[in-house]
Chains A and B, each alone.
Chain A
Amino acid sequence: MPRLDSILTGLAGEGATGALRAGRSGTVYLTEGRVTFAESAHSPRLEDVLTASGRVSAAAVQRARRAASATGAPGAGNGDANGAGNGDANRAANGAATDANEDGARGRTSHRPPDGGGALIAQGVLTRGELEFCVLGLVLDAVYFLLAAAATRPRFVPGERHWLGPYWYFDVTGLLRECERRRARLNDVWPSAQLDTLPVSPVPRLPGQRVVLDALQWEVLVNADGTATPAELARRLGRPAYSVLMAVRRLAAAGLLMKPPPPRPAAGPERREPSAPEAERPAADQPAGKLPRRASAKGRPRPSGAVAPARAGAAGGGWPAVTGDPSDVSMLIRLRDALERML
């Protein structure tokens, strides 16, 4: 099965426009060979992010969406100027970035009907810059998880566009490189993926006197209820799933999260130990205290048949090892002296 990244690279080469649907995992939208939007089942949706901020109501998102579908195919026939390139000083950072506003500038000056994003901006609920950042974050986040998910065979639907419209253009190679960088970064912070998909559960007590948290780590800790996984927390908080994952790994590296129970096999030998022959136990107990041993020899009700082995144990392995240590020798001499005085 062709991998998602190779399909994307192919579509980019063709300068394709449309939606690449990877089954239930998500969708990547391309505009003339560049990625303009993406959504993944593992990362928060646009609606989640917009409404979680408290700035944009769900109704406003719905209105914008309706406005976009009412004006027909958004952005149709505005691709001509694209090849001109942007002559200003701005260069694309890491390829995954900018170029965005050759379209933005055009959108404002041309007669193009407003797309969903334009409707949101027109409603005054957020600025163009905020929407651009939002799309930037969402797409990088979604593509990161889409690439990781082994999806069903992706299906390309030519011409299909997202209702929001294009607000950021990602060069596909740059996008793939950025995802690779993010994967490496995550492993630098805490090289284990074992907490990535488990419910986030903070340790009840700090393993130290004080700790420094950043803003997102605070949000993660405050909202961790012992049942929500990092992906669920991300959706609830309206934060990028990758950022939440990063916060979780940082918390784990700082020892602030409960480790999952270790794998079972270790329990076997541990259980067998107590069930070892009864006779060995008294012998093992002996070195701890000498007086109790004496008491046990006389008065303690002992398990039948255990007497002889217990004594044997006391005589043999029960004593501390004899050494040539001078303190041992002087102790023996003092003991002998004391015994002689009693006579």
Chain B
Amino acid sequence: MPGVEDCLTELMDIPGVLDALVVDHATGTAVAVAGSGQHLDAERSAAALNEALRATLDGLAEAMTTGTLRMHDMIVTTDRGHHLLKPVTTVLDGEMVIYLRIDVERSNLALARHRLQAISARLTT
């Protein structure tokens, strides 16, 4: 039964991870941050990433008008790395979002995605 900090430590152990951020989806509050964070203004990044996720969810929901939308994760690749966003539903507080930025050269995206899945699952059960 890991805490938020343990979870962050494990996230940072994933090969190639540069930054990790946990965001409260309902409010855009930065919950915890780890990594090379100096060039990452946690507060602003959290709010902005949260808006990006919200916009994507809204867009997808409108694009697919059949039933509800359940996002597992969202991956965007830029010249600064792979950006992974994973919504995690916690029973008590609704949605949390885990954000990872991963080095494009020194990483295995499939592995990172798999590990993120496993870590977030343990956080909520």
Contact = CB atoms under 8 A, between A and B. Distances in A.
A90 B29 contact: no
A91 B37 CA distance: 8
Given A88-B9, A101-B6, A181-B43, A134 B32 contact: no
A148 interface: no
Interface in A226-260: 238-240, 242-243, 246
B31 A133 contact: yes
B92 A133 contact: yes
Looking at chain A's contact residues, the main secondary structure is: helix
A216 B33 CA distance: 25
A130 B27 contact: no
A97 B3 contact: no
Given A93-B21, A126-B91, A216 B7 contact: no
Interface residues of B, number: 44
Interface of A: 49-50, 53-55, 88-94, 96-98, 100-101, 104-105, 121, 126-130, 132-134, 136-137, 140, 177-178, 181-182, 185, 210, 212, 214-216, 238-240, 242-243, 246
28 contacts: A89-B9, A89-B35, A90-B9, A90-B32, A93-B43, A93-B46, A97-B30, A100-B3, A100-B4, A101-B5, A105-B5, A129-B3, A129-B124, A130-B90, A130-B91, A130-B92, A133-B93, A136-B93, A140-B29, A178-B43, A181-B43, A182-B29, A185-B27, A215-B95, A240-B26, A240-B94, A242-B26, A243-B26
Given A93-B22, A133-B4, 16 more contacts: A94-B46, A97-B31, A98-B5, A98-B33, A104-B5, A126-B91, A128-B2, A130-B91, A130-B92, A137-B24, A137-B93, A185-B27, A212-B58, A214-B57, A240-B94, A242-B27
